Structure 1
Amino acid sequence: MIDTHAHIHFPQFDEDREEVIKECEDKLTAVITVGCDLEDSLKAIDVAHKGKNIYASVGIHPHEAKNYSEKDYERLLEIAKSSPKVVAVGEAGLDFYRNLSPKEKQYEVFEMQVEAARELNLPIIVHTRNAAKEMAEFIRTKFNGVRGVIHCFSGERELLEAALDAGLYISYAGPVTYPKNSALRETLRFVPSSRLLIETDCPYLAPQPVRGKRNKPVFVAHTALTIAKELGLNFTDIVRITTINAKRLFNLPLSDAEKKERLAYPVGNRLYLNLSTDCPCNCKFCFRGSEDFILGYNLNLKGEHVAEEYMYRVKNPGIYEEVVFCGYGEPFTRFEDMKKVLNWLKKMGAKRIRVNTCGLGYLITGKEDILDELKGLVDSFSVSLNASSPEEYYRVVRPSFGKGSWESALKFIKDAKEKGFKVTITAVSYPGFDEESFKKLAETLNVDYRIRPFKRFKKWEE
């Protein structure tokens, strides 16, 4: 687990800093202690050198912007280059809550730091308070490929959309654990797993179980627990997801296991099997081509793997609540290998088996008896239909088979239902999605439905 935003170089830790650093070394993967002005950044770097897995950022907080200008650009670069422990620029941004620096100064110094991040090829840690609209506009117009994170995100949807469109990460701190912050917790559903981070912002903002105490990096675990509960995941999932994400953003080394492409990957009490990178659909909202890491796993396979390798990876499928064929691509593109794995799973005591599919199995295989071949092997299908009409389907799903795909998908759904499989049709609530019509379609087909939140990987353009 990584605390991506701490201030353990602050005076609040002067009396027990060595003890806190040891605790971080023992219990966390890494901590980033974040500078708030150039002198403070030097202190952060000094503290980073006191621990193997402590890192620093160099930046100017908007409160301090009044003391700086573009003439400090070279010194900022010099300090950032002074140590390999520096992994980011920031914290930098806009704070119109206290206005301790004039707004024009805040803009000037923030833009300077964005340019520094670009030149240094480092991510930027973004602070924003009472400036969500202005920050969203700044990101849209000024970032242009600069990597970074919105630190201590406080829930503004416009800012969330702008940040995700720009490829930024979203970090949650102690406030997400506070009982009255249900609206903030709700925003977690819209953040892609590959963009989620956690932090403490210590010594401030202690999470609910330790609220009122001095915050410290190990308390990030409380935030992880709250997020896991909100997203229906377990603590291990959130630790894995946020650790991988932090390493990717801040260029910290991934272990060989973390880098390795995953054929089988557990999430909660389910095991997912990643058979293929191929898919006949090009859904406008899909992560394929934008992200390799999903839920903390590298799912972008570099080649096909034989069925026996999946059997070797799984070992004991009976320990899972459900085994799900769901990965980077469409499992029906490897129908014969899928059948081999399915037969083995059943022999080995898999409790329930689900196949997540686009529903174009007939067109992919060129056969219409595939459901008969799957009787007794598959318990349920989750069909990503993502539309309630042919017009919507071809505009958003964009199947490579072209016309006739909609009708083929509907036939697959009807046939599966008729042959006794449990069938759920699913959709993503992308901009303009017709939710009511989709529900009516599910009723007409006499199947269950599920609507997933739209998670932005890039700008949505009609």
Structure 2
Amino acid sequence: MIDTHAHIHFPQFDEDREQIIRECEEKLDAVVTVGCDLEDSKKAIKVAESSKNVYASVGIHPHEAKNYSEKDYDRLVELIKSSSRVVAVGEAGLDFYRNLSPKNKQYEIFEMQVEIAKQLNLPIIIHTRNAAKEMAAFIKTKMAGCKGIVHCFSGEKELLEAALDEGLFISYSGIVTYPKNSQLRETLRYVPSSRLLVETDCPYLSPQPVRGKRNKPTYVAYTAMEIAKFLKINFTDIDRITTINAKRVFHLPLTAEEKKERLVYQVGNKLYINLTNKCPCNCKFCFRGTENFILGYNLNLTREPIAEEYMYRIKNPSIYDEVVFCGYGEPFERYETLKTVAKWLKKMGTKKVRVDTCGLGNLITGKDTTKELKGLIDTFSISINAGNKEEYLKTVRPKFGEKSWNAVIDFIKEAKKEGYEVIITAVEHPQFNKDDFIKLANELDVKYRIRPFKRFKKWEE
């Protein structure tokens, strides 16, 4: 696990810093200690250079903006370049709660640091307090092409949408564990797994189980546990997801295991089978082509493996609650491989086999697949993502054109008729007609599930 925002170079750690660093080296993959002005950033670099897994960020906090100007551009760049342990710019941003620097100075110094981050191809760590609307506007107009992290996100919808539209990462601190912060926890549903980070902001903001004590990097585990509990996945899943994301954003080296293309991958006690990158649909909200790492796994296949490779990796499928054909693309694009693996799964005593599909399997294969898969598949989860044909064609954009809608509806009816469990699903995208979707599910007499809309890019794009 990686604490993406700490201040272990602060005076609060003067008495036991070496012990804290040893603890970090034993229990964490990395810690980023974050500077608040140039002198403070020098201290951060010094601490980072004393440890194999502590890194530094160099920047000027909005509280300190009044002490700097654009003339300090070169000084800041020089300090960043002075050490290979510097992995980010910041923390920088806008703080209209304390207003310790004039607003115009805050904007000036923040924009300067964004330009430096772009120039040096580093992420910027963004501080925002009582300035969500202004920060959202700034991100929309000034941060195109800049990687970054919204540090200690506090739940503002406008800021979240602007940040995700520009590809920024969202970092949750110990405040997400506080009982009264239910609205903040709700925002977790809308953050793509590939953009999620955790932090402590130590020595401040101790999570609920240790509230009132000085915070420290290893307490980031409490935040991760709360997020896992809320999202109903395992702690190990959040550990993997946030560690991979932190390495990606800070350009830290991934291990060979982390880089590996995943043919199969586990989330909770379910196993997922990733057959292909290909899909006949081009959904407006889809992550394909935008993100390769989903749920902490690299799902972008550069080849199409044979069935035996999946069997070799799965080994004993009976230990999982469910095995699901679901990956980067549409499973029916590799129909024969799907069938071969499904037969083997049943032979090996798999409890339940599900296919997550767009429902165009019969158009893809030219076959009546619901009859052929009888006894091999238990459940079809069909991503229809609309309640009517017009919305479907605009949002899903299938390559088969207008005949796709009837093909999906026919597939659902046939699957239900053949005795499969059938669930239709939809992402609650900006143009989603929820009433039509529920009405359609009732007419088809099937279960339905509506998934939160997770932004990967601007909807208009």
- Calculate the TM-score normalised by the size of structure 1: 0.99
For residues 163 and 332 of structure 2, the distance between their equivalents in structure 1, rounded to whole angstroms, comes to 35
Question: CA offset at residue 76 of structure 1?
Answer: 0.1
For 1:126-146, what per-residue CA distance to the aligned partner results, in whole angstroms no more than 9, with x for missing partners? 000000000000000001110
Unpaired stretches in structure 2, ≥5 consecutive residues: none
For residues 411 and 275 of structure 1, the distance between their equivalents in structure 2, rounded to whole angstroms, comes to 24
Question: CA offset at residue 298 of structure 1?
Answer: 0.3
Q: Give the partner amino acid of 1:295.
A: L
For residues 435 and 38 of structure 2, the distance between their equivalents in structure 1, rounded to whole angstroms, comes to 54
Question: CA offset at residue 456 of structure 1?
Answer: 0.2
Equivalent runs, 1:57-456 vs 2, <5 Å: 57-368=57-368, 370-456=369-455
For 1:287-324, what per-residue CA distance to the aligned partner results, in whole angstroms no more than 9, with x for missing partners? 00100000000000001000000000100101100000
Q: Give the partner amino acid of 1:297.
A: Y
Question: CA offset at residue 236 of structure 1?
Answer: 0.2
Which secondary structure does the structure 2 equivalent of 1:239 belong to?
A: helix
How many residues end up aligned between the 2 structures?
A: 461
For 1:336-379, what per-residue CA distance to the aligned partner results, in whole angstroms no more than 9, with x for missing partners? 110110011111111000000000011000112x1111111100
Q: Which runs of 4+ in 1 moved over 4 A?
A: none
Q: What is aligned with 2:459?
A: 460
- Calculate the TM-score normalised by the size of structure 2: 1.00
For residues 147 and 274 of structure 2, the distance between their equivalents in structure 1, rounded to whole angstroms, comes to 29
Which secondary structure does the structure 2 equivalent of 1:381 belong to?
A: strand
For 1:380-424, what per-residue CA distance to the aligned partner results, in whole angstroms no more than 9, with x for missing partners? 000000011110010000000112000000000000000000000
For 1:426-454, what per-residue CA distance to the aligned partner results, in whole angstroms no more than 9, with x for missing partners? 00000021001100100000000000000
For residues 152 and 381 of structure 2, the distance between their equivalents in structure 1, rounded to whole angstroms, comes to 35
Query: For the aligned residues, what is the CA RMSD?
Result: 0.6
For residues 59 and 182 of structure 2, the distance between their equivalents in structure 1, rounded to whole angstroms, comes to 32
Which secondary structure does the structure 1 equivalent of 2:118 belong to?
A: helix
For residues 322 and 250 of structure 2, the distance between their equivalents in structure 1, rounded to whole angstroms, comes to 35
Q: Give the partner amino acid of 1:43.
A: K
Identity of matched residues, %: 73
Unpaired stretches in structure 1, ≥5 consecutive residues: none
Question: CA offset at residue 186 of structure 1?
Answer: 0.1
Question: CA offset at residue 215 of structure 1?
Answer: 0.1
For 1:215-264, what per-residue CA distance to the aligned partner results, in whole angstroms no more than 9, with x for missing partners? 00000000000000111110000000000000000000000110010000
Q: Give the partner amino acid of 1:329.
A: G
Q: What is aligned with 1:16?
A: 16
For residues 270 and 133 of structure 2, the distance between their equivalents in structure 1, rounded to whole angstroms, comes to 40
For residues 74 and 251 of structure 1, the distance between their equivalents in structure 2, rounded to whole angstroms, comes to 23
